[in-house]
């Protein structure tokens, strides 16, 4: 039956109406609907029969127009159906996140932080967007909505940018198409928080009070205070890594390194029973630290600030930045130079003490 406006109204279920003007265009009549299709062969010889739409939402003339454009594409060597299928098979941002964590993120020391950003921010907001469809506006809007947490927003942006670069490498996107490139990061104010002497005294008193009922967390916190080690290093430290007063880490954020343990730490370790392969037997003393810093009136003092406090004390004791960098396990000397302002403070204090001494000498012989 010919495909005409009059025949469409007469069509019965099972009828196939074929257009005489556009080769391959036909209408199939079903029980509850009628749909336009276009039959063609791709350049490779594959038979294709894509659905164009349902009548009457798609009019006869509109179906002809769509069919004509598709046949022009086919004549130039394109295959609209294959392209549509490829588009449908393209991964979503959520799929990219999963591959990133499997192939890359899980191997990083900070992989758990990446996973948290993915689960809490990236997947819920842009996870259902196709990788090829993610644009500058999507990224910029997401980043701007996080303006109340600038540091976290910038970490999210850096992670998403890394995944977009990998998407190019994995041929999900065209090269040099990263939509994160021109998003301006928020300005971050570097946090400089150190444990003051009066605060240290209160913290020490509280640690001693909790030593009996929570020895593992107390030891963990003392190790952070007295060695300047990273929390992850203390959490993973094993008894069999101890060699005298050296804790030899086979791997850390900067690779293999040694943490040097002072006499005070050795005394603490001597009293600690071996109830686990790891020295403290816990991953994080967060609960106790939350209680202690509240009781000590230092609610803004983080566990990581204890590492900064160690560096501050080391400078006050006369150690050089190079020596401090070695104790902290810095792979790059530039990392240690963040404490240079403390060296200036120590130098000024030393200069004042020296000048006062000279002044005393001069007054005595005046």
Class of domain 93-169: mainly alpha
Beta strand pairing call for 16-18 and 246-249: unpaired
- Residue 100 near residue 158 (C-beta atoms within 8 A): no
Please state which architecture CATH assigns to domain 5-87: 2-Layer Sandwich (3.30)
Comparing CA positions, the residue from 265, 286, 276 lying closest to residue 219 is: 265
What residue ranges do the domains of the chain occupy? 5-87, 93-169, 197-348
Neighbours of 247 (CB within 10 A): 24
pTM: 0.51
Mapped onto helix, strand or coil, the DSSP state of residue 3 is coil
Backbone angles phi, psi at 48, to 5 degrees: -125, 145
Q: Which fold has domain 197-348?
A: hpI Integrase; Chain A (1.10.443)
Q: What is the pLDDT along the chain (366 residues), one digit of tens a residue?
A: 899 988 998 999 999 999 999 999 999 999 999 999 999 999 888 999 999 999 999 999 999 999 999 999 999 999 888 888 777 778 999 999 999 999 999 888 788 889 999 999 999 999 999 999 999 999 999 999 999 889 899 999 999 999 999 999 999 999 999 999 999 999 877 667 888 889 999 999 999 999 999 999 999 999 999 888 889 899 999 999 999 989 998 877 667 888 888 899 898 898 888 889 999 999 999 999 999 999 999 999 999 889 888 888 887 777 777 787 778 877 665 555 566 556 555 555 655 666 676 567 656 655
């Amino acid at each position: 039956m010919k495909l005409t406006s009059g025949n469409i109204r007469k069509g019965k279920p099972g009828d196939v109406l074929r257009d005489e003007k556009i080769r391959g265009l036909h209408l199939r009549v079903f029980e509850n609907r009628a749909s336009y299709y276009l039959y063609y062969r791709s350049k490779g010889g594959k038979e294709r029969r894509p659905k164009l739409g349902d009548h009457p939402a798609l009019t006869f003339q509109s179906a002809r127009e769509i069919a004509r454009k598709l046949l022009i594409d086919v004549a130039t060597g394109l295959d609209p159906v294959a392209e549509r299928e490829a588009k449908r098979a393209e991964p979503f941002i959520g799929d990219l996140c999963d591959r990133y964590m499997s192939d890359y993120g899980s191997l990083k020391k900070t992989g758990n932080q990446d996973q948290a950003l993915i689960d809490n921010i990236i997947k819920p907001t842009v996870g259902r967007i196709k990788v090829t469809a993610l644009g500058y506006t999507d990224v910029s809007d997401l980043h701007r909505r996080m303006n109340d947490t600038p540091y976290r927003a910038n970490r999210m942006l850096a992670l998403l940018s890394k995944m977009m670069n990998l998407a190019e490498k994995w041929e999900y996107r065209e090269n040099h198409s990263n939509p994160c490139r021109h998003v301006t990061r928020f300005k971050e104010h570097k946090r400089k928080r150190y444990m003051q002497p009066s605060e240290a005294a209160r913290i020490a008193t509280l640690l001693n009070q909790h030593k009996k009922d929570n020895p593992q967390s107390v030891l963990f916190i003392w190790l952070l205070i007295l060695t300047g080690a990273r929390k992850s290093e203390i959490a993973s430290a094993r008894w069999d890594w101890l060699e005298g007063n050296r804790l030899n880490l086979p791997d850390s954020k900067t690779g293999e390194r040694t943490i040097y343990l002072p006499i005070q730490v050795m005394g603490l370790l001597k009293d600690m029973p071996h109830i686990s392969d790891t020295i403290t037997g816990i991953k994080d003393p967060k609960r106790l630290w939350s209680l202690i810093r509240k009781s000590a009136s230092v609610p803004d003092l983080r566990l990581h600030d204890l590492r900064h406090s160690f560096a501050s004390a080391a400078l006050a004791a006369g150690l050089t930045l190079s020596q401090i960098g070695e104790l902290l396990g810095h792979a790059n000397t530039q990392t240690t130079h963040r404490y240079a302002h403390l060296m200036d403070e120590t130098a000024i204090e030393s200069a004042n003490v020296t000048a006062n001494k000279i002044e005393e000498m001069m007054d005595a012989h005046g």
